[in-house]
Amino acid sequence: MAIALAAEAHGQGAASLLDLDGRAMDPFQGSRSRAIVAVFSRTDCPISNRYAPELARLHGAFAPRGVEFRLVFPGDQPVDTITRHLREFGYPFGVWRDPGFAFVDRAGATVTPEAAVFDARGTLLYLGRIDDRYISAARRRPAPTSRDLEEALEAILAGRPVATDRTPAIGCLINDLR
C-alpha cells in the first residue's frame, strides 16, 4: 500500500526544489519515469558518503528500466560544495536542492542517507534505508543482509505493492541543518 502523504496536492513540497543553477522545478511534472528515487544526502555525512558505490550500482541496474535517481540536499549546503562532492564520489545521476525542507517534509525524511521512492504522479511508495548495512551510526555489518531499496524497486517495477514500505534509516540527522 502506498504511504499516505498528509493531504498534499500534487506539486506541494516539490515547488521548493532547485537545480544546481537555482532554477525551481517540479520533479513530477511531465515525468515518464516508472519510479523516482530521491536519496536525501549531506556532503558532510560519512554514512551517506559510504553509500555512493551502492547508489551507483542501483542506478546502473534500475535506470535502464525507467527509474530516475536524484540526490536531494536539504538546507543551504553550498552549490560549489555539492558540485565538488558529486565529482569526488562519482555520482552518475543528478541533484535537487531543498533549501526550505519542503520536499524533506513531504517525504517524511529524517536522516541522510534515506531513500524516498515516488511514482510519476508523486505518490510516495517507499521511505527508508538503502539496506541494513548499518546497525547503528557507529556499527556496520561487512555486507547487508537486506537490500530494502532494491527490493522496493523490484516490487514497484513488477506492479506489486512494496511489502515493507517503511524501514528505519540510520545516518546523519536532517534536523541538524534546520
- Please state whether the predicted TM-score (pTM) of the whole model is above 0.85: yes
H-helix or E-strand spanning residue 155: helix 148-157
C-alpha cell at 169: 534509516
Read off the pLDDT of residues 108-167 as tens digits, 9 standing for 90 and up: 999 999 999 999 999 999 999 999 999 999 999 999 999 999 999 999 999 999 999 999
Taking the CA atoms of 161, 1, 57 and 131 in sequence, report the sign of the dihedral they define. negative
Read off the pLDDT of residues 67-91 as tens digits, 9 standing for 90 and up: 999 999 999 999 999 999 999 999 9
